[in-house]
Amino acid sequence: MKTAAIIGGGVIGGGWAARFLLNGWNVRVFDPDPEAERKITDVLDNARRSLPGLGNVALPAEGALTFHPTIAEAVAGASWVQESVPERLDLKQKVYGELQQHVARGAVIGSSTSGYKPSQLQEGFDNAAQIVVAHPFNPVYLMPLVEVVTTDANTPEVIDKAKAIIAEIGMYPLHLKKEIDAHVADRFLEAVWREALWLVKDGIATTEEIDNAIRYGFGIRWAQMGLFETYRVAGGEAGMKHFLAQFGPCLTWPWTKLMDVPEYNDELVDLIAGQSDAQSGKYSIRELERIRDDNLVGMMRALGNTNWGAGALQNTHDKAREGAMGLASTMQDVADLSQPVLTLNRTVPLDWTDYNGHMTESRYLDAFAQSTDRMMAIIGCDADYIASGGSFFTAETHIRHIDEVHAGHPIQVRTRVIMAEGKKMHLWHEMYEGERLLATGEHMLLHVDLKTRRSAPPAPHLAENLAKFAEAHAGLPTPDGLGRAIGAPR
């Protein structure tokens, strides 16, 4: 199993530990803080609650988490070392000096620094090539962006390895080939932060009013389309040039105090802290973290439905894990046709639960529909086939809810083909947590010509593949509940 070493276990270091651990890596931590283990455990609790349900495919089994009294012990066997110590250049370079005495030369050393340039971190080290900036965003276990900043000292092999590992754990490596203080995202955030401080100091808006301007307005747009693409749309059919012509003159108007900074004094601190307490003081930090995580998961899952932005990235990560999680994509992937087919292997997401605290009834149908879609793809009714004009429509569904399941719990669906005759496909799904049966779904589907919107025989290869499953599954015991009507005795 792969190993990552985490040097510095605060909020960011703990987030890195959770991200690696929940993606199947062993994680070795060094932090002299006696509270480090407790702090990382708190971060892990949040991560285990939210990350596994973000995607549509189960994460691998967790790695092992261990804590070590020295850097030398922590980096043993590590192919990735993430430094997240406080933002002091002298401290970081002291840590790198010790790291390079013990870490493998082929390992990547990533720094979580939000401000220092990689050339500053690399200065004076023999193996500067292995040191890169890998700047994440909080919470690291959910936010996908990592700004990977490199210099000419970094070899193509190191850069490729860094980007590949970051992608492997479900994150997005934004490779910045030219260094600058604070990289890209934090420079942008700093500009917004400075303007917000002026608005509060000058009494124009409160902290809550500024937050509302973001979360009810441009913040939603930016989350799904960024800055320039949002403005391109704003330009209408004429596009970006029209937008620039329309709003370019604003650059000469006094719309911002971007180049000025309000005096940072106790009066400003008390003003902002007091308004923030009035705005959010009714929540504990842990409550705010969980509200944040719930919202982030919901937003990214919504983007996954449209295969856009952070959602498209998650879909790619899911696709890469399918084979390892036992999910077939074609007939050739199915090891044993005589057994029920694993068609869903995932964790119950946060947004699948209801006021009773368990998975809500509509999501059982959602899960079974995903299983039906995978079964269709396996027999050849994939995106290309559907684009050519053929598909299956569901004619009848019957779901039995046998036991409850909660957010964060793993579920699997195993599918059988009960009957395949002419235009009909009769499926039987069973949903499990481990070996505990949660629900069954019985579904009758008809093959349809999408041009006429009427039932029609499937293509020969579909009919052949479906018949193979029906014949192979005919030898299995009749499912308990097959053909059952509502209200019939169990």
Return the domain boundaries, the chain.
3-176, 185-282, 327-473
Contact yes or no for 458/390 (Cβ under 8 A): yes
CA–CA distance from 418 to each of 304, 310, 444, 473 (Å)? 32, 38, 10, 7
What would the pLDDT profile of 9-32 be if each residue is shown by its tens digit?
A: 999 999 999 999 999 999 999 999
H or E segment and range at residue 201:
helix 185-201
Strand partners, 419: 426
Q: What is the CATH number of domain 3-176?
A: 3.40.50.720
| pLDDT for the residue 81 | 99
Give the pTM.
Answer: 0.90
Nearest CA to 46 out of 69, 18, 16 is that of 18
Range 126-149 average pLDDT? 97
In eight-state DSSP terms, residue 215 is: I
| In 205-324, beta strands by DSSP E | none
Q: What percent of the chain has pLDDT over 70?
A: 99
341-347/390-401 β-pairing: unpaired
What would the pLDDT profile of 196-227 be if each residue is shown by its tens digit?
A: 999 999 999 999 999 999 999 999 999 998 98
CATH 3.30.465.10 fits 185-282, yes or no: no
What would the pLDDT profile of 56-83 be if each residue is shown by its tens digit?
A: 999 999 999 999 999 999 999 999 999 9
Q: What is the CATH number of domain 327-473?
A: 3.10.129.10
What would the pLDDT profile of 369-407 be if each residue is shown by its tens digit?
A: 999 999 999 999 999 999 999 999 999 999 999 999 999
